[in-house]
Amino acid sequence: MDACWQGSLFAAVEGGGRELTSAFRHELARGAWVDVVPGWVPDPDALFDLLVATVPFRGHRRRMYDRIVDEPRLTHRWQLAEGDAPPQRLAGMAAELGRRYDVGFSQIGANLYRDGADGVAWHGDRVARERPEAVVALVALGATRPLRLRPTGGGASVSFPLASGDLLVMGGTCQRTWQHSVPKVTAAGPRISVQFRHLYPGAPGVPPDGRSA
């Protein structure tokens, strides 16, 4: 797929991330877009170590066809609207991103991919894909892994190799008209993906497993 890039209109931010002056916007088809900010998180290794040491990651099981299988990654969620207290740096990032995108990020999730055998299949956010538009922000920590996107229902995909500290924001109709995945690879070190989601009018909340990458 041909990439069409343009500079994003990010304002400078303070606290959780560096100034967003090196952001790029990738305009996808059908009203979807992706913003990418390389190296947005200062000292990402320290944040990775903090999350590995303090977050109570746990595994989940899900149905696949006629079987119940272990999901190939570990997860944890903080519901800010319910008083959950995430690490201060993550709370600061949620506030900064919320100001930039004019949404109130009310859930922070963290997915731990232990090695290359962990991954997540093609999907869209379970709540956001029911809305005309939504914003889901992802911060990558640890080993570089590709995040892939393709049109919902199949088609040519585009890949973003996210290194530690990179920020990727999916917006517009992305959760409804596109799908994303983190494919399994032959070998990789541990990776954490931190996701920021917001509530939508009429929605009671975000389910425990929103399936974002």
Superfamily of segment(s) 24-57+72-197: Alpha-ketoglutarate-dependent dioxygenase AlkB-like (2.60.120.590)
Question: Cα(170)–Cα(139) distance, rounded to whole angstroms?
Answer: 12
pLDDT at 62: 57
pLDDT at 81: 80
177-190 pLDDT per residue, tens:
999 999 999 999 99
21-77 pLDDT per residue, tens:
567 899 999 999 999 999 999 999 999 999 999 999 997 655 545 555 667 799 999
pTM over 0.85: no
pLDDT grade, residue 90 (50/70/90)?
A: very high
pLDDT at 87: 96
Q: To the nearest 10°, the Cα dihedral for 61, 63, 69, 75?
A: -30
Q: In angstroms, how far apart are the furthest CA atoms of the chain? A: 50
pLDDT at 123: 82
Q: Are 100 and 92 in contact (CB under 8 A)?
A: no
Strand partners, 140: 193
Query: How many helices and strands in the chain, by DSSP H and E?
Result: 3, 14
Question: Cα(90)–Cα(84) distance, rounded to whole angstroms?
Answer: 12
Burial code (b: 16+ CB inside 10 Å, e: under 16) for 174-190 equals bbbbbbbbbebeeebee
SS3 91: helix
Neighbouring residues of 140: CB distance < 8 A, sequence distance ≥ 6: 147, 162, 163, 164, 165, 166, 167, 168, 191, 192, 193
3, HSE (Cβ side, Cα atoms, 13 Å): 12
In whole angstroms, what separates CA 182 from the centre of its chain? 11
pLDDT over 70 (residue 131): yes
Q: Where are the domains of the chain?
A: 24-57+72-197
